[in-house]
C-alpha cells in the first residue's frame, strides 16, 4: 500500500481518513428495500434503523476533524473563543452523536462543563462509552438521551449543533428551544454542509456527494416523523436562515472558518 492510501484507509487521526465511509454505504444499502418503500410512500427510514454501521461511521468520520481541527478553528474567531472561555461556561452539544465534538470542546475549554444531548438510545450508549474512556475530561461531560427540543431554559453559555439540524424533523422547534436555553450574550454555533447558496446544474462535487447522502440517509431519517420539515443533507444557508428567524434568533452570520472539510460554520444569536 502506498503511504497515501495507508493514510486514507488506516490512519484514524488523519483528516484524510475515509475508511469509515464504507460502513455508512453498507448501512444504507441494507436498508434499500425500506428506502424504496419510503420513496414510494413519502415515508422515512429512521436513524436507529441504519444501525451500528451508520452510527459508528458517522462518529469515526468526524472524529479527526473535531480532535485535530476544531480547536484551532474556534480559536481563530475571537468572539466565539472568548464566549467559550467565559468562566464556568456551560456548553451544550445537541445531536452529539458519538460525542467526539463534546470531548474535543471539553479539552479545548478546560473551564467549561459540557452537556451532550442525543435522541437515539444506541448513540447515547456510544457517546457515554467514548466519554468514559477519556479520564482527563470525563468528569466535566454529561451525556443525556433527550430530544434537544427539551433543553432547559437559560441553562447554557453557548450551544453547538454539529451536522444534525438538517436531520431534524422539527428544526424550528429545536432551534427555538436552544435559543431559550442561551443565557444573555450566548450563541448557537451550527456546523453543517458547505453546499452552494443555490441549486445549479451540474452541481459541484460537494453538492453531488450531499445529495447522495440526502437520498440514502438524511432525508429518509428526517421523513421518518410526521410532520417533518424534510430538509435533507443539502441545507442551504437561506434554509437555515429561515429556520433561525422562525425560531426567534435575531442574527445569523457565517463564521470565517475556511477549509474545514465539507462543512461551514454559522453563528446564531438572539
Ligand X SMILES: C[S@@+](CC[C@H](N)C(=O)[O-])C[C@H]1O[C@@H](n2cnc3c(N)ncnc32)[C@H](O)[C@@H]1O
Is residue 196 a contact point for ligand X (CB under 6 A)? no
Is residue 58 a contact point for ligand X (CB under 6 A)? yes
Is residue 118 a contact point for ligand X (CB under 6 A)? yes
State the minimum distance, in angstroms, from the CB of residue 234 to ligand X: 14
Nearer to ligand X, 35 or 201 (CB): 35
Is residue 186 a contact point for ligand X (CB under 6 A)? no
Residue ranges of alpha helices (H) inside 69-170 are 70-75, 78-84, 100-108, 121-132
Angle, helix 100-108 to helix 47-68, in steps of 10 degrees:
30
State the minimum distance, in angstroms, from the CB of residue 222 to ligand X: 8
Residues in the chain: 270
Nearer to ligand X, 149 or 187 (CB): 149
Comparing CA positions, the residue from 110, 66, 102, 242 lying closest to residue 165 is: 242
Is residue 189 a contact point for ligand X (CB under 6 A)? no
Q: Choose the stretch contacting ligand X; rule: CB under 6 A; options: 1-9, 81-89, 162-170, 257-265.
A: 162-170
Q: Which of 105, 168, 176, 190 binds ligand X (CB under 6 A)?
A: 168
Percentages helix, strand, coil for the chain, rounded to the nearest 5?
50, 15, 35
On whether the CB atoms of residues 13 and 67 are closer than 8 A, the answer is yes
Q: Which of 119, 176, 187, 189 binds ligand X (CB under 6 A)?
A: 119
On whether the CB atoms of residues 269 and 250 are closer than 8 A, the answer is yes
Is residue 28 a contact point for ligand X (CB under 6 A)? no
Please count the other Cβ atoms lying within 10 Å of the Cβ belonging to residue 184.
6
On whether the CB atoms of residues 233 and 219 are closer than 8 A, the answer is yes
Task: Give CB contacts under 8 A, 24+ apart, made by 204-210.
Answer: 206/262, 207/234, 209/262, 210/234, 210/262
On whether the CB atoms of residues 188 and 175 are closer than 8 A, the answer is yes
Is residue 81 a contact point for ligand X (CB under 6 A)? no
Q: Choose the stretch contacting ligand X; rule: CB under 6 A; options: 96-104, 107-115, 176-184, 251-259.
A: 96-104
Q: Which of 50, 109, 162, 249 binds ligand X (CB under 6 A)?
A: 162
Is residue 62 a contact point for ligand X (CB under 6 A)? yes
Q: Which of 97, 186, 220, 232 binds ligand X (CB under 6 A)?
A: 97
* 264: three-class secondary structure by DSSP: strand
Interface residues with ligand X (CB under 6 A) are 47, 58-59, 62, 94-97, 101, 117-120, 123, 147-149, 162-164, 167-168, 174
Amino acid at each position: 500500500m502506498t503511504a497515501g492510501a495507508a493514510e486514507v484507509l488506516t490512519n484514524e487521526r488523519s483528516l484524510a481518513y475515509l475508511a469509515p465511509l464504507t460502513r455508512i454505504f453498507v448501512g444504507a444499502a441494507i436498508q434499500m428495500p425500506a428506502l424504496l418503500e419510503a420513496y414510494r410512500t413519502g415515508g422515512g427510514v429512521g436513524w436507529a434503523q441504519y444501525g451500528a454501521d451508520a452510527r459508528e461511521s458517522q462518529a469515526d468520520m468526524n472524529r479527526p476533524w473535531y480532535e485535530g481541527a476544531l480547536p484551532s478553528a474556534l480559536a481563530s474567531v475571537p468572539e466565539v473563543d472568548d464566549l467559550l472561555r467565559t468562566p464556568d461556561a456551560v456548553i451544550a452539544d445537541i445531536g452529539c452523536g458519538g460525542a467526539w465534538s463534546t470531548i474535543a470542546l471539553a479539552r479545548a475549554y478546560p473551564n467549561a462543563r459540557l452537556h451532550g444531548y442525543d435522541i437515539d438510545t444506541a448513540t447515547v450508549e456510544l457517546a457515554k462509552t467514548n466519554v468514559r474512556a477519556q479520564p482527563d475530561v470525563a468528569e466535566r461531560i454529561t451525556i443525556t438521551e433527550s430530544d434537544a427540543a427539551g433543553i432547559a431554559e437559560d441553562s447554557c453559555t453557548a450551544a453547538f449543533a454539529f451536522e444534525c439540524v438538517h436531520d431534524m424533523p422539527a428544526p424550528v422547534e429545536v432551534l427555538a428551544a436552544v435559543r431559550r436555553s442561551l443565557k444573555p450574550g450566548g450563541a448557537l454555533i451550527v456546523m453543517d454542509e458547505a453546499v452552494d447558496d443555490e441549486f445549479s446544474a451540474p452541481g459541484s462535487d460537494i453538492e453531488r456527494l450531499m445529495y447522495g447522502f440526502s437520498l440514502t440517509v438524511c432525508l429518509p431519517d428526517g421523513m421518518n416523523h410526521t410532520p417533518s420539515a424534510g430538509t435533507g443533507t443539502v441545507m442551504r444557508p437561506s434554509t437555515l436562515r429561515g429556520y433561525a428567524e422562525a425560531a426567534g434568533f435575531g442574527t445569523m452570520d457565517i463564521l470565517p472558518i475556511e477549509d474545514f472539510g465539507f462543512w461551514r460554520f454559522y453563528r446564531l444569536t438572539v
